[in-house]
Amino acid sequence: MLSLTIRHLTARLRDEESGASLVEYALLIALIAIVCIAAVTLLGSTVQEPYSELSSAL
């Protein structure tokens, strides 16, 4: 009886895909966040000068 219950639970967990989808979405969001942070870090100094000139002109 106990082994049947354990088999049923493991089969149910193996077949359930909602948890996998959540992990995939979390990884995708983390990757997008890393790319955005890298872009802001790399382009920050390049974009800073034109905005500084613009703000001083105003």
Q: What is the pTM of this model?
A: 0.52
For every residue of 12-36, DSSP letters joined together read: HHHH--HHHHHHHHHHHHHHHHHHH
- Count of domains observed in the chain: 1
The pLDDT value given to residue 51: 82
Domain range for 56 is 19-58
* The token pair that represents 29 in the structure block: 């969001």
Query: Considering the domain boundaries, does residue 5 fall inside one?
Result: no
The pLDDT value given to residue 23: 81
Query: Considering the domain boundaries, does residue 51 fall inside one?
Result: yes
pLDDT tens figures, 31-46: 999 999 999 888 888 8
The pLDDT value given to residue 38: 92
pLDDT tens figures, 9-24: 677 666 666 666 778 8
Query: Considering the domain boundaries, does residue 10 fall inside one?
Result: no
Run of H or E including 1 = none
